[in-house]
Chain A
Amino acid sequence: MSGVRVDLQEPLPVPEPEGPPLRRLDAREWARENLFSSKLNGLLTVVFGLLLAWVAYRVLRFVVVDARWEIIERNITNLLVYQFPRGELWRVWAALYVLAASVGFGVGAAGRRKALAAAEDGAPAAGRSQVVRRVGPLLALVVVLLAFAQSLAATLLVAGVAATAVGFRVVGQRVPLRRARLASVLVLVGIVAAYLTITAFGGVPRDRWGGLLLTAFLAIGGIVISFPLGVLLALGRRSSFPAVRIVCTAYIELIRGVPLITILFMSAFALGFFLPPGSERPSAVTRALVALVLFTAAYVAEIVRGGLQGVPRGQLEAAQAIGLSPLKTTRLIVLPQALRNVIPALVGQFISLFKDTSLVFIVGLTELLAVAQNITKQSDFVAQGLFVETLIFAAFVYWAGSYWMSRESQRLETRLGVGTR
């Protein structure tokens, strides 16, 4: 062999694989490569270009010229809270501030741990433009709402909410949290406190909420209450007791086999029948919430079950080997790993719950979609065919919320590295 001496103790560093050189294309080159690379592609470009131009023209023409947005402008408060007493609106604002503070603090604290971890890994921090892109859909929603409201006070208050959120995020980043789980507990406390801000001490009971407020309440309340139920059901389905397993599996599969609307019907028409005679019939909002919780719990259970199956068996055996009780094994070893893996899927479930709250319109609750229909019957606007405008407004609100959350969940997915191990 040759006389090259190979040091066996120290392996040679493996060179990084070289990517192809990056080329900056000018506009013509870019167009040729991305739009007209072949005859077929050229044809497709022309066809789709015309199609897109036509759609854009129609949409823009409708939004800017044809649509009569006055109905939204005059009813913006109705769409947001409906028959909520106007004298008590300050409670909603206060609740928003409480929410902003707690969520900001939680995000800051969680972000700090992430930043510390990233610094260890040597990953680059997020840039400013990325932050703007991240909150883009939410920002669009707020801007549209404020444009319709045309109120200085509301604008200032929203700016205050945003400032509170950012401020508490900074605080959250500064304050050392000894226990990481405290951040999520704080967010939960914030949600409950926001609810109490509106209802407690002579406030407005949830039966008088409406519009977007009711939509948000049903979505957030639904996921918060159904989450522990879902975790219990998932654990039950994976239990070693056949009886528990069968009962939980039956519940989950039965619920997943029927549409949400049938459960809403059952709750709306028949929940009162299942209560002991003489007891007070629960209000419409409560009945809808019960249906949403029962429904969502089954889906959360399936998601959590996926996470439980993803925890390696060795973890469980190791926990048993060091003498942890079954309860402690589940609480300290299995669940934290399982839940961490399913956070993106849970966000996805929250998005579909958010969209599904529109179904309570069918059982007569005045959430966003119902208000969008009701306001077209006002004497000023009746029989003018304004349902399209209000529907588009409602669709935009749902779209902005869902799109924002789905992008966040994709981001979470890449950050947590789900499915890449």
Chain B
Amino acid sequence: MRGGGARRRPALLRSVSAATPTVQARPPLWRNVRVLRWAFQAVFLLGVALFLLYLWGNLTGNLERLGIRTDFRYLRQPAGFAIPDSDFRSSQNVFQALLVGAKNTATVAFLGILLATLLGVIVGVARLSTNWLVRRTAALYVESLRNVPVLIIIIFWWAGILLRLPPLDEGSDVFGVLSISNRGLVLPSLERTSGIGVFLVALALTAAAAAAVAVWRTRRFDATGEPHRRVLWAGGVLLVGLTLAFLASGRPLGLSLPEQSQFSTAGGFRFNPEFAALLIALVLYTASHIAEIVRGSILAVSSGQSEAASALGLSGFQRLRYVVLPQAFRISVPPVGNQYLNLTKNSSLGIAIGYYEMTRVTGISISQGGPAPQAILVLMLFYLCFSLFIALVTGLINRRLEIKAR
């Protein structure tokens, strides 16, 4: 607002002192600050527009001269490459390939955010432990991972660890539940059979019942003060309901265990090495940053709060759970949201190890003759959508949590 006060007085004063108070001399056009401000902004915008036009002109000229298309119709052309571990075939078009890439990016980002938050909070709390050894271990973890490029961590997990695991035929399954080999990790997964619809309805009803019980216990606690134990109650209802529904609907879910043959595994949920390496590296790296934020936020909660909780006789865990962490959480939401954004953007480094996320799909489509400027622009738009979505979500959480000040 610096120039805002510049609707200057001197002109007015001059007119007053000039003994002709009836005529308000307006400043000439070239001294009128309001006009000057408009003129400056118009010139600025014109300059920016001209610069962009110049770039655009160069771009189209160069592309045409080289015989590269200048529109976005390449998105509708057949991709010409297949994506492993998906239904995508090479006859589908580039845009659909990008959507598969976006789905893969979203998978890594979503799982990564969940796991990194979990690990980050644990390590952040551990850094403030009263136990010297725990404290130092957490510090060692944070300081060693935070200061190394995430790309190196990704490549290290991929080339240095996961690809060096023993091959499939050398007996790499753990109790028949987990299969670990250089082909990837296979975890047990749920497999649905017939009767799933009935089961899902029963599941919804059970969940509603559990919620109702939790509310009832809370009300009871508010009214009488007897211990509410709502988690125990609701959990019990959920467990009993689940078992009944499961048996009543004819066991609609089965456990699918990894079965190994010499060259492949069947059943279970399979992480290929690229996905596993990217996920593990992103989680470890981001968790080290989140841990620092959590530590800082806990330290930022005034120590009087913690002391007051102790004075009330809360145990160490209760103090953390009910007094310190809720307040620390509020402080840490914006920076942790930033870390979520970083994790999502860093998932683009999957290209270095050949994980089929958006960046790699774009890279391949360029190498197959797609027009580079448009392809990268579309890629940027995809990432902007992701960033916007995460920013919106964290913004909403932040708005709900922030202290309502008057």
A residues near B, CB below 8 A? Answer: 34-35, 37, 41, 44-45, 48-49, 51-52, 240-244, 247, 254, 256-262, 265-266, 269-270, 272-277, 316, 320, 326, 329, 351, 355-356, 358-359, 361-362, 369, 385, 387-388, 391-392, 394-395, 398-399, 402-403, 406
Whether the Cβ atoms of A243 and B41 lie closer than 8 Å is: yes
Given contacts A320-B5, A403-B143, A395 and B148 within 8 Å (CB-CB) = yes
18 contacts between A and B (CB under 8 A): A34-B130, A34-B133, A35-B132, A41-B130, A48-B131, A243-B41, A243-B42, A254-B380, A259-B348, A272-B62, A277-B61, A361-B352, A369-B152, A387-B160, A388-B159, A391-B160, A395-B153, A398-B147
Whether the Cβ atoms of A265 and B363 lie closer than 8 Å is: yes
Q: How many residues of B contact A (CB 8 A)?
A: 61
Among B133, B149, B359, max chain A CB count under 10 A is at B149
Whether the Cβ atoms of A35 and B383 lie closer than 8 Å is: no
Task: Please give me the residue from chain B that is nearest to A31 by CB atom.
Answer: B132
Which secondary structure dominates where chain B touches chain A? helix
Contacts of B373 in A (CB 8 A): 266, 269-270, 273
Nearest CB on A from B292, distance (A): 10
Contacts of B377 in A (CB 8 A): 266
Contacts of B380 in A (CB 8 A): 254, 258, 262, 266
Complex Cα spacing A346 to B257, Å: 51
User: A254-B380, A266-B376, A358-B152 are known contacts; what are 11 more A-B pairs with Cβ within 8 Å?
Assistant: A44-B129, A45-B131, A241-B40, A247-B45, A257-B384, A273-B62, A273-B372, A359-B349, A391-B160, A399-B147, A403-B143
Complex Cα spacing A391 to B298, Å: 35
Contacts of A361 in B (CB 8 A): 151, 352
Which listed residue, A244, A272, A320, A358, touches B151 by the CB 8 Å rule?
Answer: A358
Given contacts A41-B131, A391-B159, A326 and B148 within 8 Å (CB-CB) = no
Whether the Cβ atoms of A329 and B131 lie closer than 8 Å is: no
Whether the Cβ atoms of A391 and B156 lie closer than 8 Å is: yes
Given contacts A52-B133, A270-B372, A320-B5, A262 and B147 within 8 Å (CB-CB) = no
Complex Cα spacing A264 to B65, Å: 24
Given contacts A273-B62, A388-B160, A241 and B37 within 8 Å (CB-CB) = yes
Given contacts A35-B131, A273-B58, A277-B65, A51 and B137 within 8 Å (CB-CB) = yes
Whether the Cβ atoms of B388 and A247 lie closer than 8 Å is: no
Whether the Cβ atoms of B2 and A274 lie closer than 8 Å is: no
Whether the Cβ atoms of A269 and B1 lie closer than 8 Å is: no
Does B197 make an interface contact (CB < 8 A)?
Answer: no
Contacts of B265 in A (CB 8 A): none
Among B41, B133, B366, max chain A CB count under 10 A is at B133
Does B115 make an interface contact (CB < 8 A)?
Answer: no
Bits for B135-157, please: 1 = Cβ < 8 Å to A, else 0: 00100000110111111110110
Whether the Cβ atoms of A262 and B62 lie closer than 8 Å is: no
Whether the Cβ atoms of B62 and A277 lie closer than 8 Å is: yes
Whether the Cβ atoms of A276 and B58 lie closer than 8 Å is: yes
B residues near A, CB below 8 A? Answer: 1-5, 37, 40-42, 44-45, 48, 55, 58-59, 61-63, 65, 129-134, 137, 143-144, 146-153, 155-156, 159-160, 164, 345-346, 348-349, 351-352, 359, 362-363, 366, 372-373, 376-377, 379-380, 383-384, 387-388
Whether the Cβ atoms of B1 and A49 lie closer than 8 Å is: no
Complex Cα spacing A260 to B345, Å: 8
Closest CB pairs A-B (n = 3): A402-B147, A34-B132, A243-B41
Complex Cα spacing A394 to B48, Å: 42
Contacts of B1 in A (CB 8 A): 240
Contacts of B37 in A (CB 8 A): 241
Contacts of A256 in B (CB 8 A): 387
Nearest CB on A from B1, distance (A): 5
Complex Cα spacing A16 to B147, Å: 41
Task: Please give me the residue from chain B that is nearest to A43 by CB atom.
Answer: B131
Contacts of A41 in B (CB 8 A): 130-131
Which listed residue, A37, A358, A403, touches B149 by the CB 8 Å rule?
Answer: A358
Whether the Cβ atoms of B4 and A240 lie closer than 8 Å is: yes
Contacts of A326 in B (CB 8 A): 2-3
